[in-house]
Copies of this chain bind each other. A is one copy, B any other.
């Protein structure tokens, strides 16, 4: 059924060459060791107020302003969300049930899912993590059951999140899998033309900066029936009147039968876990029966359910918009002081290019010594030789903290070898 005439193959990763864990480890290990030795990774910390952390560094508790966590709206320590988590446990005198969700769920989890469905105007199923949500969804997509019985050719964006790309070989055992260059809409259109059914798997907001061209993807969907599976873990809550996120807020009306959005209940949303937004009852039924994480793993625990219900309530108040606006102000404040590839974008992730891996790690360490915790990014998170820093800006940062970070970056990054 799948055409063999995929010209995209020349630029694609094919079944059988999807993974080489050994090579990846051998390449990445020296840098990871250096990052651990430099005490910029693998740290233990306690939360202080707002975006401040107490982190153990060389046996001392250092108070750092954190730009690593992805709590973009600063909700992860919101008192109502914390209280929601505690109350759910108290109310049920339970935290977790060890049984597959296909059998039975906490009644409050059922209520949470209806509430999220109403909030995001989609059918919603929750999972213990986005990793679990993605793992459950992709084989169902490959099976053809979401595309009128026709197995789609699965087209991965080269930068699709690791928890998506992980499954390429598994999916290649079921249908044709192709990887195309990042945001290569014209290659995607070629594939749509050459195949009866195609599905595109990508991120909404990319964890290392940038976003999917949602408009372009929707027009390919309209033209060719392209199925879209978009992981919007980093986009949820930041956009839309009720925080439905970067991708959902660009889709007017129903999701329809050819779009699935994965998202996080952590990150912008401020609770814990993952979810899928689906467009039809039939899809929901299929996922509730067959998604592996639904049938063979555990659900959100009650603390996560209670926190998510509290956050859903907040998403219906004016506080959501206030925090969305604060985030945009912090992002603009940063962009006024530091130029990055993402300048001017309303998305909260900024990356600083450094190049050399050791230099990026040493820059992250110098920032720690100035009171700022950032992510050194290097292979396999980004390609070799493209190491740098990742900064997650949030509504919870003060303007002074953003300015302090920018001043430190001005001092430190030009001094890094290789910059």
Binding site for B on A (CB under 8 A): 15-22, 24-25, 28-29, 32, 36, 41-47, 53, 55-56, 68-71, 76-77, 79, 81-82, 85-86, 89-90, 92-99, 102-107, 109-110, 128-132, 135, 139-140, 142-145, 151, 161-163, 166-170, 172-174, 264, 266-267, 271-272, 286, 288-290, 292-293, 295-298, 301-304, 307, 373, 375
- What are the residues of chain B within 8 A of A107 when measuring CB–CB? 44-46, 56
- Give min CB distance, A197 to chain B, whole Å: 13
A19 contact set on B, CB distance < 8 A? 139, 170, 173-174
Cα–Cα, bound, A292→B364 (Å): 23
Output the least CB separation between A127 and chain B (Å). 9
Can you give 16 contacting A-B residue pairs, CB < 8 Å? A15-B173, A17-B173, A21-B145, A25-B290, A41-B102, A42-B103, A42-B104, A44-B109, A56-B107, A69-B104, A70-B99, A76-B94, A81-B95, A95-B272, A95-B304, A135-B135
Copies of this chain in its oligomeric complex: 2
Do A289 and B44 touch across chains, with their CB atoms under 8 A apart?
Answer: no
| B residues less than 8 Å from A97 (CB atoms) | 47, 69, 71, 76, 266
From B96, B104, B132, B290, A55 is in contact (CB under 8 Å) with: B104
Across-interface contacts of A110 in B (CB, < 8 A): 44
Separation of A79 and B90 alpha carbons in the complex (Å)? 10
CB distance from A290 to the nearest CB of B (A): 6
Q: When chains A and B are docked, how far (Å) is the Cα of A419 from the Cα of B328?
A: 66
Bound complex: CA A293 to CA B264 (Å): 15
* Cβ contacts under 8 Å, A102 to chain B: 32, 41-42
